[in-house]
């Protein structure tokens, strides 16, 4: 009788920072009922992967689940995989951290289950050949990867039913192609379709291996799957069919396959991820063109050639989204600090653990699953990285420092000021703006925000080509506002006299100065434990078709022990006539929630009718506006030396998630604005203070 081996592997993960109710909901809809069905079929061999993040939550919230899983492992039914503890993309973290991530999860699994995993799950199936070395050095013997990777290397479909060896610098690992057909039919097609397909791949020798390897959340937690998988008993029916056909469908674990079946051959895989990910990594315009090209292939029935067409490259998320790049380079900087301190003989084990947590991949990219747009996923990444920095600061007795470096690898120099109280990252080439401001006592980057930009998913929204279940709220198209520049703080605007806060919010205004995009000359020095950064731009303003020259100087004072930052502005008229100007300085505050009752604005002596952080408004002739976040337990005050008109409005993005398109609050913009008659020069001092409450 013809026979075939089937590896049935599921990957379970929740990102650091995901809400507790989301963990619980997915547990009830997916993790728990899946294992309950597995228990009913003891002869079915199943492979599972749980990230360290998820295992910690399960141990804390559902120890009874862990006990059931222990029993399934002990009786030989369930094989566990290790992997990156915090589900890091291995290729973009330093090689030493790759090993630390894998060994941490391996040791955790061994401690909990008295079981030593030999295989691993590859986060987001992002493969670069170089990582094979560290995977092998971390004690991993095998892992599944999508069949697309193998086909990109030139294999034909018939060569995908087994496993291959690969190596990097002589370090060997076995790799299994995960079947695209099984990913698409399980659990969405009728059970018979999968059984019939397996029958078509069976052979007399019975040595072929078909691998299903995909997200466990698709069994109940993905939209509309719980009823299909459990209430309508798809999974139970599928396992029943496997039992009924067990004479020729042999469910096995990866480890048994490696021990009992010889590899098909040796292969080196190209850099890739799963096809959908490669599409999401493309720039906006190219993503649209790629989708049109895919449709053309289908129209002409040329899908068999799609293997010769690939989308983008995962690392280009770091080019597509500057915010992801800044977070990534921050992670590398912290990793290097830890390594340097360890080289000096210091014990940095605790700092390493925070670093590993800051490598959780979900916040570094965007697609249907990636969470770059979600503040609750970015926040714990920055929090962990700053926690690691704080520990190194304490070990090394940190003093205030100034460093000029190309931090984000864009060919331009940035200025980084670090003290025990704060980190300030300044981009002289981007309007002399601050793009990261860490309040270190709370491990909070208050400029952790994402600007508004076009996404491929917006096209369908604008065309109103979406069903109601593809959006989380109505009229989302009204919020498709695209920023002209990258949001940060100390962004210097010159407005028309009739520009309103609503115009500014909607980016429906003219920028009259050359300063937002101007490159500022920079001089930095320290005085009395205070870092002073002096930024100068000789620019122009354009009013009533007349271009006038002015010089803008801003001096930033950052103290050693305080999170206070003071900025002295000076505008110098370089024309022989007075200039009438409307000048505003943009500040941003990413406080994670714009519509919560415990996050709000305060203005002394003024009762705000709408004080939510997502509110839009203008307050005239005041000198101070405060933002309070009772959840983060901080209060931010922005105070000006002279009265100003204070604008306030939110940055809200529209992005795609598993549940459809949604609006996400990113930050509150605060812009003090002055009407100035500039005869000779004009000066103002602005102070930002952060208090713990």
Catalytic residues: 124, 215
Residues 6 or more apart whose Cβ sits within 8 Å of residue 611: 600, 601, 602
Distance CA 588, CA 356 (A): 28
DSSP-assigned states of every residue in 633-688: TEEEEEEEEEEEEEEEEEEEEEEEETTEEEEEEEEEEEEEEEEEEESSEEEEEEEE
Q: How far apart are the first and last CA of the chain?
A: 73
- The number of beta carbons lying within 10 Å of the beta carbon of residue 469 is 10
Which of 25, 93, 105, 36 shows the shortest CA–CA distance to 65? 36
Strands 142-146 and 681-692: unpaired
Contact yes or no for 653/673 (Cβ under 8 A)? no
Contact yes or no for 311/290 (Cβ under 8 A)? yes
Contact yes or no for 178/210 (Cβ under 8 A)? no
Helix (H) or strand (E) holding 568: strand 565-573
Contact yes or no for 3/203 (Cβ under 8 A)? yes
Dig out the tokens for 111 from the structure: 């401690």
Distance CA 56, CA 72 (A): 19
Strands (E) across 109-229 are located at 120-121, 142-146, 164-168, 171-178, 209-215
What is the tally of helices (H) and strands (E) in the chain? 20, 26
| Cα radius of gyration (the chain) | 28
Distance CA 501, CA 652 (A): 15
Helix (H) or strand (E) holding 52: helix 52-61
């Amino acid at each position: 009788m013809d026979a075939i081996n089937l590896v049935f592997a599921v990957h379970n993960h929740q990102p650091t920072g995901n809400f507790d109710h989301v963990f619980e909901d997915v547990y009830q809809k997916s993790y728990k009922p899946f294992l309950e069905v597995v228990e009913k079929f003891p002869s079915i061999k199943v492979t599972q992967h749980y990230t360290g993040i998820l295992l910690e939550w399960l141990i804390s919230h559902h120890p009874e689940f862990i006990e059931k899983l222990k029993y399934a492992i002990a009786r030989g039914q369930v094989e566990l995989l290790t992997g990156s503890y915090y589900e890091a993309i291995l290729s973009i973290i330093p090689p030493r951290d790759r090993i630390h991530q894998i060994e941490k999860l391996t040791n955790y699994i061994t401690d909990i289950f008295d079981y030593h995993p030999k295989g691993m799950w590859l986060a987001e199936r992002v493969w670069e050949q170089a990582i094979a070395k560290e995977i092998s050095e971390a004690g991993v013997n095998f892992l599944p990867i999508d069949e697309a990777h193998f086909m990109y290397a030139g294999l034909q479909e018939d060569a995908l039913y087994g496993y291959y060896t690969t190596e990097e610098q002589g370090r060997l690992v076995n790799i299994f192609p995960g079947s695209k057909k099984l990913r698409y039919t399980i659990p969405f097609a009728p059970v018979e379709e999968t059984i019939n397909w397996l029958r078509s791949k069976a052979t007399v020798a019975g040595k072929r291996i078909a691998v299903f390897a995909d997200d466990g959340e698709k069994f109940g937690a993905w939209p509309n799957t719980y009823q299909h998988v459990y209430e309508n008993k798809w999974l139970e029916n599928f396992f029943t069919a496997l039992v009924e056909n067990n004479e020729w469908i042999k469910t096995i674990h990866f480890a048994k396959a490696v021990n009992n079946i010889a590899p098909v051959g040796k292969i080196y895989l190209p850099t890739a991820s799963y096809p959908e990910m490669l599409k999401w990594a493309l720039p906006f315009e190219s993503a649209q063109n790629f989708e049109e090209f895919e449709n053309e292939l289908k129209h002409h029935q040329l899908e068999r050639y799609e293997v010769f067409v690939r989308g983008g490259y995962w690392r280009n998320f770091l080019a597509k989204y500057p915010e992801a790049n800044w977070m990534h380079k921050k992670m590398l900087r912290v990793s290097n600090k830890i390594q340097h301190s360890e080289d000096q003989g210091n014990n940095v084990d605790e700092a390493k653990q925070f670093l590993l947590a800051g490598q959780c991949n979900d916040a570094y990219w965007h697609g249907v699953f990636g969470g770059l747009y979600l503040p609750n996923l970015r926040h714990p990444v920055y929090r962990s990285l700053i926690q690691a920095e704080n520990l190194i600061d304490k070990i090394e007795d940190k003093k205030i420092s100034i460093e000029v470096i190309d931090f984000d690898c864009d060919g331009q120099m940035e200025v980084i000021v670090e003290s025990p109280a704060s980190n300030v990252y300044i981009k002289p080439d981007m309007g002399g703006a601050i793009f990261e401001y860490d309040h270190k006592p709370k491990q909070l980057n208050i400029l952790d925000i994402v600007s508004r930009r076009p996404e491929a998913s917006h096209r369908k929204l604008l065309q109103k080509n979406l069903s109601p279940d593809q959006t989380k709220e109505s009229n989302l198209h009204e919020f498709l506002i695209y920023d002209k520049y990258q949001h940060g703080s100390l962004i210097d605007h010159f407005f028309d006299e009739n520009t309103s806060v609503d115009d500014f919010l909607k980016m429906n205004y003219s920028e009259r100065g050359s300063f937002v995009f101007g490159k500022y000359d920079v001089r930095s020095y320290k005085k009395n434990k205070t870092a002073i950064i002096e930024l100068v731009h000789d620019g122009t303003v354009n009013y009533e078709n007349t271009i006038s020259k002015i010089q803008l100087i801003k001096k930033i004072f950052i103290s050693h022990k305080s999170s206070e930052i003071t900025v002295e502005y000076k505008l110098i008229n370089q024309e022989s006539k007075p200039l009438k100007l409307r000048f505003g300085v943009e500040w941003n505050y990413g406080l994670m929630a714009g519509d919560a009752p415990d996050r709000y604005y305060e203005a002394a002596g003024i009762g705000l009718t709408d004080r939510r952080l997502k509110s839009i408004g203008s307050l005239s002739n005041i000198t101070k506006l405060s933002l309070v976040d009772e959840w983060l337990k901080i209060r931010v005050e922005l105070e000006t030396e002279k009265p100003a008109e204070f604008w306030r409005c939110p940055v809200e993005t529209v992005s795609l998630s598993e549940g459809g398109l949604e609006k996400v609050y990113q930050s509150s913009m605060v812009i003090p604005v002055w009407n100035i008659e500039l005869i000779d020069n004009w000066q103002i001092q602005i102070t930002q203070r952060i208090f713990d409450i």
